[in-house]
A and B are shown apart, each in its own frame.
Chain A
Amino acid sequence: MKNIKIKILSLLISTLLIMNGCISPPENFIAPSFDATYAFPITDTLFTLNDFIEDDSSFVVSDDPEKLGVLIYSTEEIIDPFYISEQLKISAFSTSSVSSIGTIKIDEVPPLRTNIAISDWTPISGGNDVVFPEASAPITSSFELINEFESALFKSGSMEITIQNNLPVTTEFREFKIINSKDGSIVVEAPINSPIVTLPLESTTVSFDLSNVTITNSLKVATTIYTPGSGTDTVTVSNNAGTEIEIGLSNLIFESVTGIIPEQDPIIISDSFIIDDSTKVEAIIFDEGSFRILMNNYFDLDLNINFEIKNLFDSYNNNYNNIFSLKRNERNKIIEIPSLKEWQIKTLTPGTPTNLLEYSLSVLIAPTDGINTIRSNDSVTVNIDFSESYFAYAEGLIKPTKFEITKSDLNFDLGDFQNSFNFDSIFISTPSMVLDLSSSVNFDIILNGLITGTSDNLTKTLEIQLNLPALVDSKFDLNEFGFTEFVNSFTTIGEIPEQFSLSGSGIVNPNYNVGSISKTDSVAGGFSFEVPLDFGISGGSFQDTISLFDSDFDEATIESINSIELTIESLNKIPVNIIMKGTVLDILNNPILDFPPSYSPNTYISLEAPIVDENGNVTSAEINKQVIQLNREDAITFMQNRNIEFIFSLDTPPINSVAPVKFRNTDNIYFKVYGKINYRMNGN
């Protein structure tokens, strides 16, 4: 049994070994390599100009029957609005005033009296019949106190002194003086040699000028009373015999008064001042600004002030009126309105614009409870200051006002194309720039604008003057100012203006008319720049680097290429002759291969321009077929380096002229590109 098993096993193994040895599959399965030529289409495309621009809103299609379908490069830019409000202002203005009380008013001073008894200066007593002897004696006698003031300095006035002689003899007041008791100063005095003589039982009145005389409230009389006596006559001396002196003050004009000051007449200031020499307003509403009143009180008295600006109104349409107090001798009292926003100045006579601001100041001097001094030259001063102010609204006769136009730019942005495009000359048939301005200002405006065009190497300006009526939208075609020539002055010498800007200045209300303006009034709008693609190019060239392939080919695939043949069939109905000559760039953008190479049947790619008529319209075109061949080395280089820098030479037909041709959205180039690739199929 064991032998059988061994035999079975041996036979089995032998059989399997034999069978296994009979067939020897390849150790490595590697597909063979061989060269095969594959034909393939690359593209079959009709490119219309519309395809190029469909995502570019800068291009529109003309619906003008004369240029139907012609493409127009159109760009618009909003003009930065220029607000006249910046010019709606008045410079700071101010006025000042000083006012004094002038006349001091006090209560009438009643007559002052004093009585000199006989016994004061003679040995005689009243009630007797006596021979009145000659007598003389100095005498001093005080008057009643003056209640109306403690002292007063008079500008003018008079003091009347009446001497009532109740004696039966003549009296003489020698060296008669009225003296201020407090300081002994002489108020008035009779001349030394002119005694005041009063006959018996009579009176004598003398008057003294009080100019520059100070009187205190306590007066006394100092004199020497003399009487020659009755001689020998016996006279009856009555019981009340004596001499009575009375002082009366009249026609008093005070220089100053000290005492309890009664209420004085108010000081009234009523004046006006000019806001602006040329601008007269029916009304203006402030947007910014402030004013303040600065007052100084030179009285030794409290003052009550009532200040009013008659044609200045607050936001509630109440004219400005402010009542306030000034303490005695208070200086630099400031009353301020920090913001005049929404305040108004209005004319008080509607229909008659004014440039005056009218104000009044009433100063009330209240009676005092204590002792104060008031002088005739005591005063109050007032300074009224308006800061530089801006208006939210002004109506009236606004003076012609100059303003600056905010600079606005319009970029003629052709992107990278602009950097890559060169040309000898382009003549653009009818470029246009239209300013569309809208004025919300109720005044006419004159714009003295400046269009500045800037290219790489040039800056030129075009002056424009635009009359912009009040409250009207206006369009201005700058071709009236020579815009076509302006643009072509760039393009015909190889420059493309990249930017246009509008600047300059303007004048509001140049005719000095009545109108109105508010701070929101502006001149706004936009400017549109249109270049119809109706132009001729001579010697144009455009350089661009194109990456031809999106797909990634691995290195082995590329290395397997033996040759490439590309056939380009084109039918160009775009009125421009295009010659393409490329250079394959390496990763560092170094040129490494001419494309097409020099050995190729065609050494450049030409898209021949169609035939155009005298109006620049395409009439016919022919198919153009070109073949490009790349040998293995160049094909590999071509495939390994996808970036090709193409130089496109562009000329509009007829060549070497700049006669304008029309580019329409339906103009097209039909491309059919196909190729053959001889490829080494390699199964590794």
Chain B
Amino acid sequence: MKYFQHIPTIKWFSEIQNRILSVYNNKIVPQSRTICVVYILLFFLSNLVMAQYGGVLSYPDARTVAIGSQAAVTSTGVYAILANPANLALQGTTIEISTVLPIPSINAVSGNDFMTFSDIEYYFGGVKDENGNIIGRYLDPSEKEILLSKFNEGNRIQTSAAINLFSISLSAGKDIGNFGFSINDVLGQRTGLPKDLIDLFLNGNRVGRTYYLNDLVLSTSYLREYNLSYARDFSPLLNNIFDSFSAGVTLKLVHGYAYTEIETIGTTIKTLEDHSILIENNLAANIAVSQDFGIQWDFDDVKNIQNISPFLNPAGVGFGINFGFATELDSIWTFGLSITDIGSVSWDNNPVSYKSSSSFLISDVTDSTLTDSIEAALKPIGSYSDGFTSSLPTVLRLGASFRLDRFLNGNFPGKMLLVVGYNQGFNNSLNNTTSPLLSLGFEWKPIDLFPIRSGFTFGGFTGFAWSLGLGIDAEVVEFNFASADIISAFKGNDTKVVQFTIGSRWKF
């Protein structure tokens, strides 16, 4: 990456991101060892494989992830608050609590859509020289072409994490309904590398060719959402056609702590016949960061004081709503529908915009003022803006489940739940995709204590994926572990994604 960083736009945005990330790494870490571990892991991965991965988004519900991220039906109890609040009404226990103990509920994913770990190992693992020292692998022209061919459109590196800090769901009986409350932190970072940039790096600048950086994506988001849910069984209103029919709604208050995005980019680099290099820069970026991070902007002389605490002063505030429906039929079928994260965040607490629309012709590298001139001409100019909004990752979730063991009247070893689902994102916000996700999955409980879950997903962030997970259901407490793409685990280094979901919840 250090080569790319010489390109002014990337250099500048990397600086901005690093400044924010450095605050994450240096200041948040001391607050909570658990969160610390998560952040370190995430940012290690994102930094480590920034050029390699794209990802999928999920919620910190390891059970749902293991079954295929269908969510509309499979997220129950405290997890229903985020996926389908109607499922709160199906809660079989009185109270469910999920918090950082015994293990936190976390969903984390980091990956890319263009390079596997094997590729990384091959290209970045180095080789031993005659002295046994590890050196960079030399790529001959054909190998360079192979490497370049791995990059197509997009070339996304996606890192996302959702951490459930605290959730509680309470069943007050069918007449009153069920309530839920949760606090979650949602982080995301997405980098998109233009293929031309890679080509420029690998092959140098060809005379007469224009290199486009339009596909450059550099986005970061750090949100905290406070969710309050209510669900109730409305089956009597339907004349008890269904065993149950519930509806639920989650109202969410979103505090945005950090957000960066490239709003527009049309930067091109062209080497003219006389080898002079024309850089046309067209960039607009939005940034909003909690003042408590103490970020010092280059255009503002006012000293911002860093004041890190568990509850930061938000840079943006948003509201959202989840609503959903769920029904059971014959204790075999369950159907669910939800639309989640309808809403947006308004980043209007000292938001910043950086813009640049200029061009510069490098024709004389002997000019001692060249560096300063390029920076003066191309460096985006920052200023406080009137604010901007970012959409929440609105998703339609449809799902159905089928209790095979019941259908077979118990002629099945253990309990078997088959599920099918369809998720459709409505935007391409940081943790979302408009690529639809179709999932098939199951949960098999040979014994209640050890549920085994698996599923297949098609579409979404990564295309086809095989999810797998395990659970330990000790009645009072439940532990779940899952991978949304166990194939990648089985692939070993042939995967492009690292993902895991873990969680626990107390059930009373």
Residues of A within 8 A of B (CB): 4, 7-8, 11-12, 15, 18-19, 22-45, 550, 567, 672, 674-676, 679, 681-684
Contact = CB atoms under 8 A, between A and B. Distances in A.
A34 B120 contact: no
A22 B493 CA distance: 7
B203 A37 contact: yes
A681 to B, nearest CB: 7
A550 B368 contact: yes
Contact of B363 (A27, A36, A41): A41
9 contacts: A22-B495, A24-B121, A30-B125, A30-B135, A32-B124, A32-B137, A39-B275, A681-B3, A684-B135
Interface string B362-381: 11111110000000000000
Given A8-B472, A34-B138, A36-B203, A43 B481 contact: no
Given A23-B495, A39-B204, A45-B364, A674 B124 contact: no
B176 interface: no
B500 interface: yes
B364 A41 contact: yes
Most chain A CB within 10 A, of B147, B365, B500, is at: B365
Interface string B1-24: 011000000000000000000000
B125 A27 contact: yes
Given A22-B489, A22-B490, A34 B139 contact: yes
A51 B128 CA distance: 54
Interface string B459-502: 00000000000101010000101010000111111010010100
Contacts of A22: 488-492, 495
B134 A30 contact: yes
B276 A30 contact: no
Nearest to B117: A23
A33 B139 contact: yes
A153 to B, nearest CB: 111
A11 B274 contact: no
Given A11-B470, A15-B481, A19-B483, A44 B274 contact: yes
Contact of A11 (B135, B147, B367, B472): B472
B37 interface: no
B30 interface: no
A42 B365 contact: yes
Given A36-B203, A684-B135, A29 B48 contact: yes
B205 interface: yes
Nearest to A31: B136
A679 B203 CA distance: 10
Given A25-B120, A30-B126, A675-B275, A43 B364 contact: yes
A31 B134 CA distance: 11
A514 B367 CA distance: 69
A37 B204 contact: yes
Given A31-B136, A32-B123, A33-B137, A23 B364 contact: no
A26 B489 contact: no
B499 to A, nearest CB: 10
Contacts of B201: 36, 681
A24 B488 CA distance: 11
A39 B271 contact: yes
A558 to B, nearest CB: 16
Interface residues of B, number: 58
A28 B365 contact: no
A39 B3 CA distance: 16
A36 B202 contact: yes
Contacts of A682: 136
B144 interface: yes
Contacts of B483: 19
B207 interface: yes
Contact of B204 (A25, A27, A36, A45): A36
Interface of B: 2-3, 48-49, 117, 120-121, 123-126, 134-141, 143-144, 147, 201-207, 271, 274-277, 362-368, 449-450, 470, 472, 474, 479, 481, 483, 488-493, 495, 498, 500
A676 B277 CA distance: 13
A408 to B, nearest CB: 42
Most buried by B among A12, A39, A682: A39
A41 B274 contact: yes
B216 to A, nearest CB: 20
A33 B138 contact: yes
Contacts of B134: 28, 30
Most A Cβ at <10 Å: residue of B3, B134, B275, B491: B275
Contacts of A18: 489
A22 B495 CA distance: 9
B139 A38 contact: no
A684 B126 CA distance: 9
A19 B136 contact: no
A30 B136 contact: yes
A374 B126 CA distance: 134
Given A19-B500, A550-B368, A38 B136 contact: no
Contacts of A37: 203-204
Given A26-B120, A32-B123, A684-B135, A40 B470 contact: no
Contacts of A36: 201-204
B256 to A, nearest CB: 32
A30 B138 CA distance: 11
Given A8-B472, A34-B139, A42-B364, A28 B479 contact: no
Given A24-B121, A39-B271, A40-B365, A674 B276 contact: yes
A26 B126 contact: yes
Q: Give the residue among B123, B204, B479 with the most A Cβ atoms within 10 A.
A: B204
A18 B481 CA distance: 12
Contact of A34 (B48, B202, B205): B202
Contacts of A19: 483, 489, 500
A26 B121 contact: yes
A273 to B, nearest CB: 80
B365 A31 contact: no
Contacts of A679: 204
A38 B204 contact: yes
Give the residue among A28, A30, A32, A672 with the most B Cβ atoms within 10 A: A32
Nearest to B120: A26
The 3 lowest CB-CB distance pairs between A and B, nearest first, are: A674-B275, A26-B125, A22-B489
A4 B478 CA distance: 12
Nearest to A19: B489
A94 B491 CA distance: 128
Contacts of B364: 41-45
A579 B384 CA distance: 58
A30 B362 contact: no
A34 B144 contact: yes
Given A26-B124, A28-B134, A682-B136, 12 more contacts: A12-B481, A19-B500, A23-B489, A24-B492, A26-B125, A32-B123, A36-B203, A40-B365, A41-B274, A567-B275, A674-B276, A676-B275
A675 B143 CA distance: 26
B23 to A, nearest CB: 24
A35 B201 CA distance: 10
Contacts of B126: 26, 28, 30
A39 B120 CA distance: 29
A675 B364 CA distance: 11
A12 B204 contact: no
Contacts of B203: 36-37
Contacts of B481: 12, 15
Contacts of B123: 31-32
A41 B472 contact: no
Contacts of B202: 34, 36
A681 B200 CA distance: 12
A31 B124 contact: yes
A31 B147 CA distance: 12
B479 A30 contact: no
Nearest to B134: A28
A672 B274 contact: yes
A43 to B, nearest CB: 5
Contacts of B479: 8, 12
A7 B473 CA distance: 12
